[in-house]
Structure 1
Amino acid sequence: MLAIGEFSRLTHLSVRTLRRYHDADLLVPATVDPDSGYRYYSVDQIPTAQVIHRLRELDVPLPEVRRIVSSSDPDTRAHLVAEHLHRLESELDRTRAAVASLRRLLAPEPAPVHVELRSVPATEVAAVEGDVAQDEVLGWYAGAMAELDAVVPDPAGAPGGVYDNALFEVGRGHVLVHVPTHEAPRSGRVRPVVLPPVELAVATHVGSHDDIEVTYGEVGTWVVGNALAVAGPIRETYLVGPRDTADPTRWRTEIGWPVFRVAGGRDG
């Protein structure tokens, strides 16, 4: 048997932490002296303590650590750990995206974004549409585009999306993703749609979508500065994207804000 101090040195868990884990029924000593209250651990508990140490380093919550170490099924333990690792990877992706946005926003002299006015005629497209929560857009988009790719093998141009204002304002809104085609089929969720003609303020976002909101802000600034007003859902066109290349530095996304001239405005 090992005294708590010896066990602490062997496992790199402090005595205070071991006491806390005992109180939480996470790592219970092999025996506790009824007279002195001293805690003693067996050498067989060292691997469990090391697993707990690593899980806590990964910020696994105590209740989840308890579920992992108390499970006798290796597959269950592996599944629980994999779930947490997936959450950590998602959080890391969000952190990287935030860092990229901050670096661009805090650059001493950020590269100006070129914005142009463009008149877009009515366009026939094959489309999939639905009401989607903002945090589900990426997954929904991937599924919708897979359906479009399956039934429109030779589109007449780059794919795009139309995003309702409510998606940004309240976190849920109507989304329509599409590919231009001369004969739009009806198959599954895919159906023909004619996008109405529109006047757009257009800018191209270069690179990963992690900081695309910065380009959105720059387009909005240009729109206000040129006495224009936004009228209708935002359009995006994916000139080059993840479906074309895994290299995000090569991605090109056109952002189009439907606009109209405010009385007394100047030309942009």
Structure 2
Amino acid sequence: MTRGLTIGEFAQLTHLSVRTLRRYHDSGLLEPDRVDPVSGYRYYTSAQIPPAQVIHRLRELDVPLAEVRQILAAEDSGARAELVAGHLRRLEAELDRTRTAVASLRQLLSPSVPPEVALRSEPARVVAAVTDVVAQDDVLAWYSAAMAELDAAVVGHERLGPPGGHYANELFSDGRGSVLVYRPVADPPERGRVRPVELPAVELATVVHHGAHDDIDVTYGRLGAWVVDHALAVDGPVRETYLVTPADTPDASAWRTELAWPVFRLAP
């Protein structure tokens, strides 16, 4: 029997500290080839160098111990690759959230630029719409399904403008509220959940949000501050009009969403 590599020698070959190798042993990730029953010394083999380096890379990527064990125990390279890819996708999503939060903070901490708010009168009109009471956490999934149903229902109907949505105040204050999404089309159909709905005439304060919706709350906040500063009161659900959407271009920087609040002027 060969002596094998001492833990110090193995540490030099793998560029891992002795402390790290002991931690891998204690957690069951990488056990030595043998442990001397008298001295307690750990001995490794050269064949254990690649697994040790794989474990080190996975831990650098914050892969949980349980998943590291799964990856090492996978019987084929395809299964291992899929497990690693799943973790990488989660890391990328987390990175996107971090970047978005950083960008929003920079906006909030930088000198505020007055928003380009416009006041306009919106006439009454009849649109093809889907409406329901939805939990706030389910809005995105509900919106995707409702818009897909709308698009299918209005095929062959002349489109009279971009799609939009109305979101009740209770959706934000209570976590559940009425949501309506619509497409303005000629002769709105009745099919499945799609119904003709009359949107009443209204006075609106509007501003255009540029880009993805990750930081849309910043634009809403600036619109709200403008409304308060100009002695206006909000009267009804917030409204969004999707001027340029992911369906138009994959470039998120080109997306445009008009935000609008129904308003009326407060008495002096």
Fold similarity call, TM over 0.5: yes
1:122 is aligned to 124
* Contact persistence 1:205–1:253 (CA under 8 A): yes
1:233 maps to 237
Q: Which runs of 5+ in 1 are unaligned?
A: none
Alignment of 1:1-268 (within 5 A): 1-108=4-111, 110-153=112-155, 154-264=158-268
SS in 1 for 2:66: helix
Query: Counterparts of 1:8 and 1:166 in 2: how far apart (Å)?
Result: 59
Hey, what's the Cα distance between the residues in 2 that align with 1:29 and 1:185? 71
Relative distance call for 1:236 and 1:43 in structure 2 (3 A) is same
Deviation >4 Å, runs of 4+ = none
Q: Which amino acid aligns with 2:197?
A: V
Contact 1:100-1:210 at 8 Å conserved across structures:
no
Tell me: CA distance 1:106–1:191, structure 2 relative to 1, closer, same or farther (3 Å): same
**Structure 1 residue 31, shift from structure 2 partner:** 1.1
Paired residue secondary structure (2:62): coil
Between the two proteins, the alignment pairs up a number of residues equal to 263
Q: Distance in 2 between matches of 1:191 and 1:12?
A: 66
Deviations 1:27-78 (CA, angstroms, capped at 9, x unpaired): 1111111111111222222222222111111111112212221232444333
What amino acid sits opposite 2:212 in the alignment?
A: S
2:114 partner letter: P
Which AA in structure 2 matches 1:23? D
Distance of 2:52 and 2:135 partners within structure 1: 41
Provide the rounded CA distance (Å) in 2 between the counterparts of 1:91 and 1:210.
13
2-structure distance, mates of 1:113, 1:178:
26
Identity of aligned residues (%): 66
Q: Distance in 2 between matches of 1:152 and 1:21?
A: 60
| TM norm structure 1 | 0.88
CA RMSD of aligned residues (A): 2.1
Q: What residue ranges of structure 2 are gaps of 5+ in the alignment? A: none
2:172 alignment partner, SS class: helix
